Structure 1
């Protein structure tokens, strides 16, 4: 999933030993200008409607480049997770990534938690995650998603 340029690569896999669907997101590729561009579009922007849920603060803002990069793979990732989940409906979901990938992972976890059955455990592990949103967003997300 992705083009390893403006759209960072992602993959969806299943761990039988953990009974877990794993979504991995690539971080910034410093050799690709379009990848770096995702990081430098740091102007704050409102959280997209598709990510808003009950309790989301009205004054939340997120990093424009991270949200734009997330949009590029969000539907494909969701469909891939649903495809695996149809075969193993009791599997939990772990979303992970490094740097830019960690930021995308956080947005993906929010989206997946809303789109998957309510009994699906969705966790996120980010390595070197940059700041994704403002203080209002950070406070809200801490209570909404399990961040390991």
Structure 2
């Protein structure tokens, strides 16, 4: 299973956009998507930017890697072609961003819950060790 940065790279590849142009348009550094940086996470601002610039991308696929890459499979559109297509309704873009942010929040909540459990276990271990 790919991580979120690998999926971002797949967007550029599938849309046949040079990585330099792709990341420049997003205002992101390509260096953060290769080498050791490729395995790190992506903040919610970057996710929102990607989805606002590429509203045809399925937010569930981008954030957690499930489902099809495109919101409406079969909508593979190059950036140049997108300018001449019917414009996307602002409300649809906003909903896409909201959906993506909900996924990010859900993922963060799961991480927090897991970390809280780890803290409890460590606190109990400390109590046990202090009692010896």
TM class by shorter chain equals under 0.3
* TM-score normalised by structure 1 residue count: 0.23
* Higher fraction of strand: 1
Q: State the structure with more CA Rg.
A: 2
